[in-house]
Amino acid sequence: MRAVSGKTRVCGIFGCPIGHSFSPAMHNVAFEHLGLDWVYVPYSVEPGSLPSAVAAVKSLNLAGVNVTVPHKQEAAGLMDNLSPAARLSGAVNTIVNSKGKLVGHNTDGEGFIQGLRESTGIIPNYGATIILGAGGAARAVAAALALNNMPEIFVSNRTSSKAAALAELINNNTDCKVSVLAWPECYRESNLKEKGKWQEILKRVSLVVQTTPLGMHPRENEEIPFPFNFLCPEHTVVDLVYNPSYTNFMEQSNKYGARVLNGIGMLLHQGAIAFKLWTGLEPPIEVMRKALHSEIARL
């Protein structure tokens, strides 16, 4: 057990529930590897308690924290400053305490881009992307793609008004063209017009990003009504779910030749970017990756 003293720098994560987060293992092992007197603590912050928890980052002089479900959007309204990605996505997953001023970042989106580059070499500035879902993760991914010059995005969400709000946000603030696509349930119901639209759009798309929790443990068998048969080897399909590490959505997509990735790369890189923001040091990526894989293997 590492000794904690009055000089130990403290950071952590605010979320609810927080018991299953992999971030403490990933960051604490990185601090130890670099011989830093830092510690990363999971804090269970109930809905409604975020303002007082954020105030404590200043009063307790924490170095910074990550923010996770359900607080990312509320956190954006509690910062002294926001990074461009946090401002565009309207969500904060990393807070840096910069001499008493709280700066909100969103490293999820850039983590997604780095994970994609690392695994596929893709620089997502060509073709078009379909994003399934319009929640916090979808906002972060859409904002990062737009900031990385992706020309066109289609957002498909069960609640279409949320997809429309995301499209409006990105269209009003970037050069990326974002349109709403009906949730593929319409396709399953043999709606021929929608079926034709999905087929035509998938011909122009190079990347599909699944951002809903469908298929995540313990709902592994939950199906996403996606027209998998329109996929081909030119498509890269990323499922942000990482537990299980090979999801039903990945398996179905791979059957039609698409290259498939899970969300581990994004999880690793969002953490590595946050580590650098707090410490100013290069994160020991391989050590952090190993810690993540051990956590996943223990599930």
Give yes or no for residue 261 binding ligand NAP (CB under 6 A). Answer: no
Name which of 56 and 287 has its Cβ closer to ligand NAP: 287
Indicate the helix (H) or strand (E) that contains 172.
Answer: helix 160-173
Residue 48, number of CB atoms within 10 A of its CB? 9
Q: Which is nearer to ligand NAP, 152 or 239 (CB)?
A: 239
Q: Tell me if residue 153 falls in helix, strand or coil.
A: strand
Pinpoint the alpha helices (H) of 11-120. Answer: 23-33, 50-59, 72-76, 84-89, 107-120
Q: Which of 164, 216, 285, 296 binds ligand NAP (CB under 6 A)?
A: 216
Q: Is 188 in the site for ligand NAP (CB under 6 A)?
A: no
Report helix, strand or coil for 288.
Answer: helix
Residue type, 190: S
Q: Which stretch binds ligand NAP (CB under 6 A): 36-44, 201-209, 237-245, 288-296?
A: 237-245
Min separation Cβ 37 and ligand NAP, Å:
27
DSSP string, 191-247: -HHHHHHHHHHHHH-SEEEE-SSTT-TT-TTPPP---GGG--TT-EEEE---SSSS-
- The contact mask relative to ligand NAP for 73-112 (x = CB under 6 A, - = no) is -----------------------------------x----
| 63, HSE (Cβ side, Cα atoms, 13 Å) | 18
Under the binding rule (CB under 6 A), the answer on residue 212 touching ligand NAP is yes
Asked whether position 159 contacts ligand NAP by CB under 6 A, the answer is yes
Tell whether residue 12 is a contact of ligand NAP (CB under 6 A).
no
Q: How many residues bind ligand NAP (CB under 6 A)?
A: 24
- Candidates 30, 63, 131, 240; binder of ligand NAP (CB under 6 A) is 240
Separation in Å, CA 95 to CA 101, 131, 281: 10, 26, 17
Residue 263 found at the interface with ligand NAP (CB under 6 A)? yes
**122-141 footprint of ligand NAP as x/- string (CB under 6 A):** -----------xxxxxx---
Q: Does 270 bind ligand NAP (CB under 6 A)?
A: yes
- Ordered alpha helix ranges (H), 2-90: 23-33, 50-59, 72-76, 84-89
Active site residues: 72
Distance in Å, CB of 86 to ligand NAP, minimum: 14
The helix-helix angle for 264-279 and 285-297 (nearest 10°) equals 130
Looking at beta carbons, which residue is closest to ligand NAP? Answer: 135
Binding residues (CB under 6 A) for ligand NAP: these are 69, 108, 133-138, 157-159, 162, 211-214, 216, 240-242, 263, 266-267, 270
